[in-house]
């Protein structure tokens, strides 16, 4: 039998010991009689360096395997001998039983000699006390021994019964001899059946033994294949290790060369830096000497200047004293002159007031005259262009007049929009430009008109862009604060809303919804308040714009919410002149007045 320890297992933590050697080491530790091959610490930690070491390890393994196979064959031979002895003893036992049936009643039946059988069983137990991998076969033989013991007990019981029957046979008359012989034959038949069962058990054990031999041969072949594979892998690993060692040596040499080069460069840089530091130190010393010399000169000049300033101060003090005396005399003269001048000033003020009054009256008269002249010119020009009542009674003239009114309103809207941007055109001058255009007579040249118009457009665009930036900043700040309020949410389309009151009745898709809306800017300027004006919008839910349809979808009947809409979802970069500037963030307070669900 091949020990089951040779079954393939995964290698353990000993990476330097081949897996097959680890298997053999485990088996040898379990099999005490076999010679152990101890793996010393140096062997465990030392990696194979060359091919001869691997050859010696393989040869040692093969020797161990051959020794194990030899031990196995010896045990098989001993088992066959013991089986032959058992068969011989069985034949002797059968012969004794037959002889005992024919012996006279007064002749005692000799007890069968079972010492050989006991020795055989002991030998079987000794032979079966092998490795843990043979315990399966040992258990089967133990079962056979138990069956043999039971058969032995049955045989002893039958022998006892046979002896009892023989005693009773001797006492019975000759007429009962035939019936007794039949019982004896039946007992013999039972004994033969027991012997046959024993033979069958023995054959089954032999067949299982042959099966285990075949399994052992198969496992041996697999182990040999694994050993060859391990040797192949060991050779590949050794070659890889040699290549890696060469690569590492080459890389190390390169690193050494690069390090030496770098060290040389660093040494050169260090020497250069040392030279620069020496030069800087010399320059610093020279500068220090120059500063000391300059400081000494400055101190001397300061002392000299201080002396001169002190002399000048004394002279100024003396001069100031003289000037003070002169000032006192002048003050007295000034008082006298001031008194005389006050009288003259009063007389002059009276004359000046009279002259100013006259000039004011003259200027007022001149302005009144100029205003009258301009008004007269304007009236003359307007009278030239104004239609009379009779001409406006005709349809073409009425349509023309209506078109002019619409154009005037557009101009007023444009002026109001630009006023919001900080640009205030002169209406009279603008109207003069319109009239001159219709007259075909311009007070500016074409070049002046082109240049001035470009400047005007640039100023308008700059003002508009600035207003858009201001609105963007205001809108972002307002949204930031609005988001902080409790209950504020963001809709899928992108506007923010807060439900003030959810409502009381669900709105169906085909319902007719009445709403009021208050529209305002982020600074609170109200654009439109339907609630205040008493207006209500009533139409089917599907007819509302997507923005308001989504807002209504968050409410029930009589519900209300506040929504903050970014420019992209409202009036965009254009705005809505004159009240809504470009890039304006809009605030809507929406309330559902009533719902008709049909």
pLDDT at 521: 93
The residue ranking higher by pLDDT, 176 or 65, is 65
Is residue 272's pLDDT more than 50?
yes
Is residue 485's pLDDT more than 80?
yes
The ranges assigned to domains in the chain are 4-241, 396-466, 474-596
The residue ranking higher by pLDDT, 458 or 34, is 458
Alpha-carbon distance values, 345 to 42, 356, 359 (Å): 129, 16, 20
Highest mean pLDDT among 186-195, 345-354, 445-454, 516-525: 516-525
Q: What value does the mean pLDDT take over residues 268-275?
A: 82
pLDDT band at 138 (very low <50, low <70, confident <90, very high): low
Is residue 450's pLDDT more than 80?
yes
pLDDT at 496: 95
Distance CA 132, CA 258 (A): 63
Token readout for 153 is 């007990």
The residue ranking higher by pLDDT, 45 or 524, is 524
Distance CA 171, CA 165 (A): 10
pLDDT, tens digit, for every residue of 389-413?
666 778 887 888 888 888 888 887 8
pLDDT, tens digit, for every residue of 418-445?
777 777 888 788 888 888 888 888 888 8
pLDDT at 446: 86
Task: Supply the mean pLDDT for the chain.
Answer: 74
Q: What value does the mean pLDDT take over residues 457-461?
A: 84
pLDDT at 116: 54
pLDDT at 104: 43
pLDDT at 97: 63
Is residue 590's pLDDT more than 70?
yes
Look at residues 66, 5, 65, 53 and name the one whose alpha carbon lies nearest to residue 231.
53
pLDDT band at 34 (very low <50, low <70, confident <90, very high): very low
pLDDT at 540: 94
pLDDT at 109: 46
Please report how the helices 115-128 and 51-102 are oriented relative to each other, as an axis angle in degrees rounded to 10.
Answer: 160
Neighbours of 121 (CB within 10 A): 19
pLDDT, tens digit, for every residue of 226-244?
777 877 887 887 888 788 7
Percent of the chain with pLDDT over 90: 17
pLDDT at 566: 94
Q: The whole model's pTM is what? A: 0.35
The residue ranking higher by pLDDT, 541 or 69, is 541
CATH class of 474-596: alpha beta
Distance CA 558, CA 333 (A): 93
pLDDT at 313: 72
Q: Which of 59-73, 279-293, 489-503 is predicted least confidently?
A: 59-73
Is residue 585's pLDDT more than 90?
yes
Mention every residue, 6+ apart, whose C-beta is less than 8 A from residue 4: 132, 133
Question: Measured in Å, how far apart are the chain's first and last C-alpha atoms?
Answer: 96
The residue ranking higher by pLDDT, 169 or 445, is 445
Question: Is the separation of the CB atoms in 565 and 588 below 8 Å?
Answer: yes
Look at residues 6, 37, 30, 34 and name the one whose alpha carbon lies nearest to residue 20.
6
Distance CA 521, CA 587 (A): 6
Q: DSSP character for 584?
A: P
- What is the residue whose two structure tokens read 């490795």? 131
Q: What value does the mean pLDDT take over residues 78-96?
A: 72
Four-way CATH pick for 396-466: 1.10.287.460, 3.50.50.60, 3.40.50.2300, 3.40.50.300 = 1.10.287.460
Q: What value does the mean pLDDT take over residues 15-19?
A: 37
Percent of the chain with pLDDT over 70: 70
pLDDT at 72: 74
Alpha-carbon distance values, 43 to 10, 47, 54, 113 (Å): 20, 8, 12, 57
């Amino acid at each position: 039998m091949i020990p089951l320890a040779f079954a393939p297992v995964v290698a353990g933590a000993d990476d330097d010991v081949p897996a097959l050697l680890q298997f053999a080491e485990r088996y040898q530790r379990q099999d005490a009689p076999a010679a152990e091959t101890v793996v010393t610490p140096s062997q465990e930690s030392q990696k194979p360096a060359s091919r001869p070491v691997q050859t010696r390890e393989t040869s040692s393994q093969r020797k161990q395997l051959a020794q194990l196979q030899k031990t196995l064959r010896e045990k098989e031979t001993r088992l066959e001998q013991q089986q032959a002895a058992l068969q011989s003893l069985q034949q002797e036992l059968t012969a004794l039983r037959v002889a005992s049936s024919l012996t006279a009643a007064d002749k005692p039946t000799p007890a069968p000699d079972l010492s050989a059988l006991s020795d055989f069983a002991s030998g079987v137990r000794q032979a079966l006390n092998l490795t843990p991998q043979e315990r399966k076969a040992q258990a089967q033989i133990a079962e056979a021994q138990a069956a043999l013991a039971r058969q032995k007990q049955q045989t002893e019981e039958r022998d006892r019964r046979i002896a009892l029957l023989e005693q009773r046979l001797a006492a019975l008359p000759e007429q009962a001899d035939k019936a007794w012989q039949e019982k004896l034959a039946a007992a013999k038949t039972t004994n033969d059946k027991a012997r046959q069962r024993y033979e069958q058990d023995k054959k089954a054990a032999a067949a299982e033994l042959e099966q285990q031999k075949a399994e052992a041969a198969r496992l041996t072949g697999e182990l040999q294949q694994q050993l060859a594979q391990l040797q192949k892998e060991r050779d590949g690993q050794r070659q890889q290790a040699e290549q890696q060692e060469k690569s590492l040596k080459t890389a190390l040499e390169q690193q050494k060369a690069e390090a030496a080069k770098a060290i040389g460069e660093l040494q050169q840089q260090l020497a250069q830096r040392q030279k620069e530091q020496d030069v800087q130190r010399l320059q610093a010393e020279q500068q220090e000497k120059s500063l000391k010399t300059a400081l000494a000169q400055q101190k001397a000049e300061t002392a000299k200047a201080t002396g001169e300033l002190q002399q000048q101060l004394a002279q100024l003090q003396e001069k100031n004293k003289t000037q003070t005396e002169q000032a006192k005399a002048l003050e007295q003269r000034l008082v006298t002159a001031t008194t005389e001048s006050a009288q003259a000033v009063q007389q002059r003020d009276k004359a000046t007031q009279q002259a100013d009054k006259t000039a004011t009256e003259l200027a007022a008269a001149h302005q009144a005259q100029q205003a009258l002249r301009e008004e007269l010119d304007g009236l003359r020009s307007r009278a030239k262009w104004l239609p009379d009542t009779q001409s406006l009674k005709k349809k073409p003239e009425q349509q023309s007049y209506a078109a002019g009114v619409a154009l005037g309103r557009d101009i007023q809207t444009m002026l109001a929009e630009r006023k919001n941007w900080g640009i205030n055109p002169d209406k009279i001058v603008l109207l003069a430009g319109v009239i001159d255009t219709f007259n075909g007579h311009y007070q500016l040249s074409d070049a002046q008109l082109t240049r001035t118009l470009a400047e005007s457009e640039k100023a308008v665009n700059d003002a508009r862009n600035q207003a858009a930036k201001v609105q963007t900043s205001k809108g972002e700040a307002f949204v930031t604060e609005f988001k902080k309020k409790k209950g504020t949410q963001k809709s899928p389309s992108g506007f923010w809303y807060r439900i003030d009151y959810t409502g009381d009745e669900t709105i169906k898709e085909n319902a007719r919804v009445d709403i009021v809306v208050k529209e305002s800017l982020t600074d609170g300027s109200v654009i439109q308040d339907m609630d205040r004006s008493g207006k209500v919008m009533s139409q089917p839910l599907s007819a509302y714009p997507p923005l308001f349809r989504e807002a209504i979808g968050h409410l029930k009947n009589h519900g209300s919410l506040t929504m903050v809409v970014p420019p992209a979802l409202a009036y965009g970069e254009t705005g809505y002149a004159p009240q809504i500037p470009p890039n304006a963030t809009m605030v809507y307070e929406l309330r559902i007045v009533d719902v008709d669900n049909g």
